[in-house]
Chain A
Amino acid sequence: GAVVSQHPSRVICKSGTSVKIECRSLDFQATTMFWYRQFPKQSLMLMATSNEGSKATYEQGVEKDKFLINHASLTLSTLTVTSAHPEDSSFYICSARARGGERDGYTFGSGTRLTVV
């Protein structure tokens, strides 16, 4: 089945630095990728939607200059947390939708646990 590889799985960084998270679709072309954030004991919240070759669409309250999303190819999307602060510590998950669209469901990455110290 469809597989999405997300790296790194865990990252600890110092406050003020930037962190890049990669999400790759291994055996299918992902026309759309989604990035989610999950704080402890809360549900997943959509941060942004990215379509290959175009700018990402951010959800209300998500700073686009802080969370840079690049979807340069049909198999790779990256999320860069710029100038990270402790309040950015969270669990980040990507998901991808294949060319078939909504009816084919979504495949999720394994997530990245970001800790900003």
Chain B
Amino acid sequence: KQEVTQIPAALSVPEGENLVLNCSFTDSAIYNLQWFRQDPGKGLTSLLLIQSSQREQTSGRLNASLDKSSGRSTLYIAASQPGDSATYLCAVVGNQFYFGTGTSLTVIP
């Protein structure tokens, strides 16, 4: 069974810092990997989708990479802002959708 782990579970950084969130998965047979943002009590917002054949995707200050062979993905956030504070979830799509445990990010003004 696919297991998705995110490290760290929580992260607090001062505004302006660049940061990296990590996601690892145990089964490399995936279709794609998605990164989501979830604000407290809210639904999910899709940030980036990486197909299994791709290595990375970029959107604004966000860059996500995928190394399928090692079962790892990273989400890089440049020049963090207080508005980036949220929980970030990665999810891999194999024969079903598997979510990571999330990283709670706090950006301090």
Cα–Cα, bound, A95→B44 (Å): 10
A87 within 8 A of B: no
Residues of A within 8 A of B61 (CB): none
**In the complex, chain A residues 58-106 whose Cβ is within 8 Å of any chain B Cβ:** 91, 93, 95, 102-103, 105-106
Task: Evaluate contact between A107 and B32: CB separation under 8 angstroms.
Answer: no
Interface residues on B, range: 20 to 34
Residues of B within 8 A of A95 (CB): 44, 97
Residues of B within 8 A of A49 (CB): 96
Task: Evaluate contact between B99 and A91: CB separation under 8 angstroms.
Answer: no
Residue with the highest number of chain B CB atoms closer than 10 Å, among A42, A44, A49, A111: A44
Q: Is the interface of A mostly helix, strand, loop or mixed?
A: strand
Residue with the highest number of chain B CB atoms closer than 10 Å, among A36, A46, A105: A105
Task: Evaluate contact between A103 and B44: CB separation under 8 angstroms.
Answer: no
A43 within 8 A of B: yes
Task: Evaluate contact between A34 and B97: CB separation under 8 angstroms.
Answer: yes
For residue A4, which residue of chain B has the nearest CB?
Answer: B43
Task: Evaluate contact between B102 and A43: CB separation under 8 angstroms.
Answer: yes
Task: Evaluate contact between A103 and B32: CB separation under 8 angstroms.
Answer: yes
Residues of A within 8 A of B45 (CB): 108
Residues of B within 8 A of A6 (CB): 43
**In the complex, chain B residues 59-109 whose Cβ is within 8 Å of any chain A Cβ:** 89, 93, 96-97, 99-102
Residues on A facing B (Cβ under 8 Å): 6, 34, 36, 42-46, 49, 91, 93, 95, 102-103, 105-111, 113
**Beyond A43-B101, A105-B32, A111-B42: 14 further Cβ-contacts under 8 Å?**
A43-B89, A43-B100, A45-B99, A46-B97, A49-B96, A95-B44, A95-B97, A103-B32, A105-B34, A106-B97, A108-B45, A110-B42, A111-B44, A113-B41
26 A-B pairs with CB atoms under 8 Å apart are A6-B43, A43-B100, A43-B102, A44-B44, A44-B99, A45-B99, A46-B96, A46-B97, A91-B41, A102-B31, A103-B31, A103-B32, A103-B51, A105-B32, A105-B34, A105-B46, A106-B34, A106-B97, A107-B46, A108-B36, A108-B43, A108-B44, A108-B46, A111-B41, A111-B42, A113-B41
